Amino acid sequence: MKILFITANRVGDAVLTTGLLAWLEQRYPDASFTIACGPYGADLFRAVPRLERLIVMKKKKLNGHWIDLWRQCIGTKWDLIVDLRNSVASRLLRARQCATHGQSSGKHKVVDNGAVLGLTPPPNPHIWIAPAAVREAERLLPPDTPILALGPAANWALKQWPIEHFIGLVKTLTAPDGALPDASVMVVADAREHDQVAPLLHAIPENRRIEIIGRDLQTATACLKRARLYVGNDSGLMHLSAALGIPTLGLFGPGFPLVYGPWGERCAYVSTPESRDELLASMANLSAPPATLMQSLSVERVAAAAKDLLAKTPSF
């Protein structure tokens, strides 16, 4: 059986489709998989069982990337195509069955993804980690110590919690009377974000600082798997942490937590006092865009939410 799985371009959206892929992998134990995805999330799928081919689609002018995908897939008669991009390409391929993503329902993205195959409740996201990435994480991380993982960046500056707030959170949570006293602190970010997160790195004592900056996504995933708690902006890393089962606290302001909040029993989110509409309206009279719209989300409120989440996951 041959299955073509066409998934999202961005890391977070791709993570939220992995539950559907894991369900297919379990449902069809003799199937081989061809996975088409964007370059940013490709590492998420490199360790998928029975992966026959990973097609990394780099965006081209005039939707040329879809033409490329069609050319690479036209020679195969597919038993099942699952197209979460609702592309024309999937409709022009030979397949016994083709399931495509429809219009958003306004429910969580995981729910909408599950609906593509009529799965209620939807399968939880699942991440496969290659053994080499696990070994690299063991080399990078200190053994037998609790780790506070932080995701201080995001793909939109306005939804980034201020770096000075992250610094305050580290001091609060890792203080002797904090929720994670003397924990190591792992900062995860893309290489392009190094300068942005540098003040946070400098504020963490060297003997407790773990820098996972610019690492491939498989290695970052294996490192995140060791965390006792993850706190981060609304981003792909937040969804990755949640999919790994790590207690995950998402930070929201001008976003959509009901649709894109961290998914799972070990997850929670905390939002700014203002709604998304109020935050965006506050920009109307400004001569220039602000650095962030997350300033009003206090360190105290996030620390309290983190402490509450840790209390609910004592057996982790």
Dihedral pair phi/psi, residue 6, rounded to 5°: -105, 115
What pLDDT does residue 284 have?
Answer: 86
Percent of the chain at pLDDT exceeding 90? 95
pLDDT digits (tens, 9 = 90+) for 50-65: 999 999 999 999 889 9
- The residue among 71, 87, 115 that closes a domain is 115
For residues 248-256, give the mean pLDDT: 97
Mean predicted confidence (pLDDT) in 87-102: 94
Cα Rg of the chain (Å, integer): 20
Say yes or no to pLDDT of 287 above 90: no
Examine residue 126 and state whether it is found in any structural domain, yes or no: no
Q: Are residues 182 and 92 in the same domain?
A: no
Residue 261, Cα to own-chain centre: how many angstroms? 10
The pLDDT of residue 288 is above 90: no
Contact 88, 107 (CB under 8 A): no
pLDDT of residue 183: 97
Closest by CA to 254, choosing from 157, 152, 154, 159, is 159
Q: How confident is the model at residue 278 (pLDDT cuts 50, 70, 90)?
A: very high
Same domain, 180 and 251: yes
Tens-place pLDDT, residues 154-203: 999 999 999 999 999 999 999 999 999 999 999 999 999 999 999 999 99
Q: Give the sheet arrangement for strand 267-271, strand by strand.
A: 209-213, 184-189, 147-151, 229-233, 248-252, 267-271
Same domain, 230 and 291: yes
Structural contact between residues 241 and 250, judged by C-beta atoms closer than 8 angstroms: no
177 and 291 co-located in one domain = yes
The CATH number of whichever domain residue 28 belongs to comes to 3.40.50.2000
Q: How many domains does the chain have?
A: 2
> Quick one: 264 and 235 in the same domain?
yes
Domain identity same for 255 and 146: yes
Residue 108 and residue 135 in one domain: no
Average pLDDT (27-50) is 97
Select the more confidently predicted residue: 101 or 230. Answer: 230
What residue type is assigned to position 24 of the chain?
L
93 domain-assigned: yes
Give kind and range of the element (H or E) at residue 279. helix 276-281
pLDDT of the residue at 302? 98
Q: What are phi and psi of 175, to 5 degrees?
A: -65, 160
Task: Provide the pLDDT for residue 128.
Answer: 98
Q: Would 122 be classed as within a structural domain?
A: no
Task: Give the pLDDT mean for 66-88.
Answer: 96
Does a cis peptide bond (omega within 30 degrees of 0) precede residue 181?
no
Contact assessment for residue 249 and residue 173, using Cβ atoms and an 8 Å cutoff: no
User: Residues 229, 180: contact at Cβ < 8 Å?
Assistant: yes
Domain's final residue, options 56, 91, 115: 115
The residue among 58, 91, 115 that closes a domain is 115
Angstrom distances, CA of residue 149 to CA of 159, 204, 232, 315: 18, 12, 8, 18
Which one-letter amino acid corresponds to residue 180?
Answer: L
- Asked whether residue 124 is assigned to any structural domain, the reply reads no
Mean predicted confidence (pLDDT) in 228-234: 98
Q: Is residue 121 part of a domain?
A: no
Cα–Cα distances in angstroms (integers) from residue 171 to residues 199, 260, 305, in the given order:
14, 28, 15
Q: Are residues 292 and 152 in the same domain?
A: yes
Give yes or no: residues 158 and 285 share one domain.
yes
Check whether 122 has a pLDDT greater than 90: yes
pLDDT at 315 over 80: no
Answer yes or no: do 148 and 97 share one domain. Answer: no
Average pLDDT over residues 23-42: 97
Q: 261 with 150, same domain? A: yes
User: Does residue 172 share a domain with residue 38?
Assistant: no
On average, the pLDDT of the chain sits at: 96
HEC assignment per residue over 212-258: EECCCHHHHHHHHCCCCEEEEECCHHHHHHHHCCCCEEEEECCCCHH
The whole domain housing 273 covers: 131-312
